[in-house]
Structure 1
Amino acid sequence: MTTTRQHGEMYWALGCAPEPPYYASIFSTLKMAHRPGYAEMDEATMKAAAEQDGYLGHQVVHDGDRTIFISYWRDMEAIRAWGAHDLHMQAKAKGRSGWYAWYRSEIVRVEHAAELSR
């Protein structure tokens, strides 16, 4: 299920949010103006992540050149497996070498989640 909201979207692999606990990997970025190959790599990594065991969903919010991308995972083992995935490692290397002016990566354990949708 994809829920489109102003400036962002939420996607859950199973159609709805999982019950906590689960993990979130938060990736906040400021993109460089010139980033050849970025859109193609972004699409490929999104597809590859969604195929990983333990992937639960994602949320992304864009504001100009700033993005916050949150991927949700069953456990730390799934996050580590995604971190070691060849395509993800290629994307990280390209991000460090020129796609991003700044980025921050955080991993958190979600203990509680509540949602209201109208």
Structure 2
Amino acid sequence: MSRIAKTLRKPPYYAVIFSSQRTEGDQGYQNMAEKMVELATQQKGFLGIESTNDDELGITISYWDSLEAIQSWKEHSAHQIAQRKGKSEWYKQFALTVCKVERDNFFEM
């Protein structure tokens, strides 16, 4: 199974890049992260997700068909709980970037 998201949609679409540096310990983070991915995949306009991390940096990229879908996900009540816990418990710092994808290409051997 590929860890690279195949959006199955022709551009344009949107990518939300979330880069983060975590605090020490889990404090319920992994469980919440899994729930958020499961919930995001059920949202209207969701196209795919990619995520990776090491001891210093986490990067998650989610793909959406519209800015409205991104806004709706941002405002989802369960996601808002996760956002608050992220700010108060899980992240030392984070950055969020929303990009319009104009072109994509996928290669698979």
Q: In structure 2, what is the equivalent of residue 53 of structure 1?
A: 44
Equivalent in 4, 13, 23 of residue 14 of structure 2? 23
Equivalent in 59, 84, 105 of residue 96 of structure 2? 105
**By how many angstroms is 1:98 displaced?**
1.7
**By how many angstroms is 1:34 displaced?**
2.0
Consecutive unaligned residues of structure 2, counting only runs of 5 or more, are: none
Equivalent in 25, 29, 36 of residue 34 of structure 1? 25
Is the 2:27–2:89 Cα contact (8 Å) retained in structure 1? no
TM-score between the two structures when normalised by the length of structure 1: 0.86
Amino acid at match of 1:10: I
Q: Which moved more, 1:69-78 or 1:57-66?
A: 57-66
**By how many angstroms is 1:87 displaced?**
0.9
How many residue pairs were aligned? 109
Greater strand share, structure number = 1
Q: In structure 2, what is the equivalent of residue 92 of structure 1?
A: 83
Q: In structure 2, what is the equivalent of residue 72 of structure 1?
A: 63
**By how many angstroms is 1:65 displaced?**
3.7
Q: Which has the higher contact order (CA 8 A, sep 6+)?
A: 2
Is the 1:32–1:65 Cα contact (8 Å) retained in structure 2? no
1:26 and 1:65 mapped to 2: Cα distance? 16
Amino acid at match of 1:113: D
Moved over 6 A (4+): none
**By how many angstroms is 1:56 displaced?**
0.2
Relative to structure 1, is the Cα distance of residues 112 and 11 closer, same or farther in structure 2, using a 3 angstrom cutoff?
closer
**By how many angstroms is 1:61 displaced?**
1.6
**By how many angstroms is 1:116 displaced?**
1.9
Q: In structure 2, what is the equivalent of residue 43 of structure 1?
A: 34
1:83 aligns with 2:77: no
Residue by residue over 1:12-70, the C-alpha shift from the partner in whole angstroms, topping out at 9 and shown as x without a partner, is 4xxx5321000000000011112311111111111110000000001112122411000
Is the 2:51–2:58 Cα contact (8 Å) retained in structure 1? yes
